[in-house]
Amino acid sequence: VSAAIHHSSLCATGPFITFNCASLPESVLESELFGHEKGAFTGAISRRAGRFEEANGGTIFLDEVGELSLSAQAKLLRVIQERSFERVGSNDTLHVNVRILAATHRDLSEMVNKGLFREDLYYRLNVFPITIPPLRERGNDILILADYFNARFARDQGVEVPTIATPALNMLLNYDWPGNVRELENVMERAVLLSDEGVIHSYHLPLSLQPILEHLVAEEGLEARVSQIEYDLIVEALSMFQGNISRAAEHLNITRRALGLRLDKYRLNYKHYRNRA
């Protein structure tokens, strides 16, 4: 979202600098954001521009801004208000013209009430808030993003784009995604690596996405793999024939009774697959 804002704005020709506020200890945070002079501290063997200086004329995106300490918040507030700062070890004031975008998964207003986030900084950042719903509330966005990551990682790995099997798609849709888009990206990278014969099956997804099989699969091994493959084939058949047990059983070359026993085993309800496109 931050990249889309930058590239659709008057700052699009300028730099787009991203910085994760939770990725570095406070001891080096000031140097990373504002730069330092040669000899400013041990290891500073040359002058270095900070992220704000690099973003001059463009946009700086501060991710997880809620993780900043109170002292770092005070320094950030000054830059927002005055658009000026000094490199570590320098008395020369630098002025920059940057758009500042910030993101956090925390409730900053609650942090303000608890004294964990500066009230003045909160109001300076809260000029134009954009609330992005968590991935679990965005329905088909999950499938669109999964297809995008699937194609991207297949291209990066030099393989044909694998098909995502219906059981795997259902697991992607039914998962809560506490890690949001980043977690989905990691899951799809893993799935593309593990996929064989051009298909991503449910067993190529992490076990955390497979609650249906948890009561069946206590350990890794042959039985677990067979159960996962059998589950995938049954869901594919039910989806293909819209819950028609007779046609699904015929497709799988087993009897209706055998299919019914397996539906009970995997806690599948054929009615859920009726009238599906």
* CATH number of the domain residue 83 falls in: 3.40.50.300
- Asked if the structure places residue 131 within a domain, the reply is no
Q: If pLDDT is split at 50, 70 and 90, which confidence band does 159 have?
A: very high
Residues 113 and 143 in one domain: no
Average pLDDT of the segment spanning 136-150: 92
pLDDT tens-place string over residues 227-254: 777 888 888 888 888 889 898 899 889 9
CA dist 272 → 226, 241, 258 (Å): 24, 12, 19
Residue 27's domain comprises 2-125
- Given 70, 90, 125, the domain boundary residue is 125
Give the torsion sign (CA, 248, 254, 260, 264). Answer: negative
In a domain, 116, yes or no: yes
Total count of domains within the chain: 2
Tokens for 80, please give them. Answer: 């927002």
Last residue of a domain, one of 66, 101, 125: 125
Do 265 and 145 sit in the same domain of this protein? yes
Planar angle of CA 156, 1, 8, nearest 5 degrees? 100
Q: Hey, what amino acid is at 155?
A: R
Q: Which two tokens mark 38? A: 């040669």
Choose one of 125, 159, 185: the last residue of a domain: 125
Taken as a whole, the chain contains a residue count of 277
- Render pLDDT for 83-122 as a digit per residue (tens, 0 to 9): 888 888 888 888 999 999 999 989 999 999 999 999 999 9
Nearest to 235 by CA among 187, 175, 169: 169
Q: Decide if 14 is inside a domain.
A: yes
| Residue 224 belongs to domain with CATH number | 1.10.8.60
Domain membership of residue 130 (yes or no) is: no
Instruction: For residues 146-169, give the mean pLDDT.
Output: 92
pTM for the whole structure: 0.68
In a domain, 242, yes or no: yes
Instruction: Specify whether 103 is located in the same domain as 178.
Output: no
Residues 170 and 261 in one domain: yes
